[in-house]
Structure 1
Amino acid sequence: MKLLLKTFAIASAMALTAAPSFAQERITYKSAKTASSYYQMGVQIAEAMRTGTDGAVVVTVEESQGSVQNVMEVRARGADYVFTTPPALVGLAQGGKAMFEGKGDPSFDNIRALFPIPSLTMHFVVSTDSGIEKFEDMAGKNILLGSGSFGAREGEKYLSLFGLEGKVELADSELSNAVSALKNGQIDGFVTAGSYPAPNVIEAAASTGVRVLSLSEEQVAQTKRTPLTIPAGTYAGQEADVATTSLPVVAYTTTAMSDDTAYLLTKTFWDQKSELGSAAAWWNAISPDMIANITTAVHPGALRYYEEVGAPISDAHK
């Protein structure tokens, strides 16, 4: 991994000398609710684009109510539109399936990927006092799932998959109360999904002894989600890697965007990634390997950049 990142960075620097000149580009970046970490990421990307292009790219970050809305807005947006969503939703939109059934539109076929951003990462966080060391130990314990979020739905699904449905006492509270409830002994653990390191998990680990549970290889396979490893030392007291699952998230645009603009955005993102990581640790989880999480076509401009730097791309991306 380190060698791949080093090679990628060197190739990226070489590509810089061959980059074409650009007039100022104005981009609208549709992310998430203002209170979310993904909105904050959008603000960080906007700053990275401004810095990395000496002001040649100006990004305006727009609040969104969610990934489905981001995809749906493709129908009315133009060449300046960049948005974030899990790759799976793009596939559903292009196939007119699930939440897009009866809402299909030819514009969905023009969606193209630019670059990966931090994944939604499942965290099963328990207090060390609870005695929970593995997933099945949650039987008979009080666990907070929250409600309405991806993490809550996914957590509930995992309890069912792993034989714990009806065996866990579910706390009737919002996820925003999780850290204080854990610290006060009102709950034994909570489930949250967010890019790692997740702020609420950092807070919990700093204020009380916690353990982030690992899933077995078999359990990860059962979820049919993308495997992800949270490296040892990510959270206070975490001495070993944590095997968990994730929902990849990617920045997209459409074929209405010019190849040169897509090239510039993609190159600038990767050129600025180390600076992004210095400002916010969740960017350090991004690597060229995560391009493999993109399951639909990559924008030709972004593809040109990836080919120049020798990034791991597949025929499905072309």
Structure 2
Amino acid sequence: MSALIRIVATAIAVGVVAGAASAETRVTYKSAKSGSSYYQMGVELAEAMKAGSGGDISVTVEESQGSVQNVMEVRARGADYVFTTPPSLVGLAQEGKAMFEDKSVPAFDEIRALFPIPSLTMHFVMAQETGATGLADLEGTTILLGKGSFGATEGEKYLDMFGLTESVEIADAELSNAVAALKNGQIDGFVTAGSFPAPNVVEAAASTPVTLLSLTDEQIEETGRTRLVIPAGTYAGQEEDIVTTSLPVAAFTTTKMDEETAYQLTKTYWENKERMADTSPWWGGVTAELMSNITTELHPGAVRYYEEAGIPTDGSTK
């Protein structure tokens, strides 16, 4: 009987070890609308997490209608929830301001940051033949802003802010038509926001000579946005750095997530970011310097990784 007990005990122990060895951490990653660059980033990140963890981390990417929805869903989500949004939006949620007025809940205070992802970067793309080099040169031109996007809203705001609304003609067309319209001379330029290198700007620069406009430091300060430099050589014919504005974006979770999971997610992300950049250059725009844009408190698991890696987190509260 004792021999039989030993055999059964051994079998159970082996089963437990095997089960532990095959344990899989499942995470839901709430991203953006399918077809958008940020949804594609989510898919790439999910693949990198699986490969980088040897299959121990499984990420399911969910479509989202936007950053506000991502934050609002914190109220009903569990420990496996990871989502993307600008850090500034988390701040508004936690303070109950703007679109979160009268909607603030204790769950918002439990939001914690993990790591930065590519920023929404403003691009002012002009036909080279216009001779435009700065925002003041937009006077008398026809510009395509598109409709309903962050870039369109931001572009319209800048035109008003710098006194150009009356002197710039806004083309009535969708942003998806921008490259063809620019090439055919129907517009002088277009405004778009996205992680760089932005696919539509890559296409435009490859098909016709273009100039990307830089903003002055004074203009950037007036916009209230974050300064960002698009390195020379990012686009065809771009010989100099472009100074523009951006809206930082990061991945977040909540205190419901355990420390080890947050640690592994953060560690796997940074250790595989360079590999992701080899196939999708926009990941190359993510550097340790972007940590200064995260103003939300970091998850303890993320803090543990940054301390081990020697990455400064001065911009984040702890």
Alignment correspondent of 1:7 = none
Alignment correspondent of 1:122 = 122
- How far did 1:166 drift? 1.3
Alignment correspondent of 1:229 = 229
Question: Is 2:24–2:58's contact at 8 Å kept on the other side of the alignment?
Answer: yes
Alignment of 1:236-315 (within 5 A): 236-314=236-314
Q: Which amino acid aligns with 1:154?
A: E
1:47 is the counterpart of 2:54: no
Q: Which runs of 4+ in 1 moved over 6 A?
A: none
Q: State the alpha-carbon separation in 2 of the partners of residues 224 and 140 from structure 1.
A: 26
Alignment of 1:58-73 (within 5 A): 58-73=58-73
Structure 2 CA distance for partners of 1:276 and 1:246, relative to 1, 3 Å = same
Q: Which amino acid aligns with 1:117?
A: I
- How far did 1:167 drift? 1.1
* SS in structure 2 at match of 1:237: coil
Alignment gaps of 5+ in structure 2: 1-20
Alignment correspondent of 2:105 = 105
Q: State the alpha-carbon separation in 1 of the partners of residues 131 and 273 from structure 2.
A: 39
Q: What's the TM-score once normalised by structure 2's chain length?
A: 0.92
Matched pairs, number: 298
Question: Is 2:125–2:189's contact at 8 Å kept on the other side of the alignment?
Answer: yes
Q: Encode CA deviations 1:275-307: one digit per residue, 9 max, x unaligned.
A: 011010000011111111101100000001111
Question: Is 2:86–2:249's contact at 8 Å kept on the other side of the alignment?
Answer: yes
- How far did 1:308 drift? 1.1
Alignment of 1:168-187 (within 5 A): 168-187=168-187
RMSD: 1.1
Alignment correspondent of 1:12 = none
- How far did 1:315 drift? 7.6
Q: Encode CA deviations 1:253-284: one digit per residue, 9 max, x unaligned.
A: 00000000000000000000110110100000
Q: Encode CA deviations 1:167-220: one digit per residue, 9 max, x unaligned.
A: 100000110110000000000000000000000000000001100001111111
* SS in structure 2 at match of 1:317: coil
Alignment gaps of 5+ in structure 1: 1-20
- How far did 1:22 drift? 9.1
- How far did 1:161 drift? 1.6
Structure number with the bigger relative contact order (C-alpha 8 A, sep ≥ 6) is 1
- How far did 1:133 drift? 2.2
Q: State the alpha-carbon separation in 2 of the partners of residues 126 and 69 from structure 1.
A: 34
Q: State the alpha-carbon separation in 2 of the partners of residues 92 and 131 from structure 1.
A: 40
Q: Which amino acid aligns with 2:211?
A: R
- How far did 1:317 drift? 2.5
Q: Encode CA deviations 1:13-49: one digit per residue, 9 max, x unaligned.
A: xxxxxxxx99310000000001100000000000000
Question: Is 2:255–2:299's contact at 8 Å kept on the other side of the alignment?
Answer: yes
Alignment correspondent of 1:167 = 167
- How far did 1:147 drift? 1.1
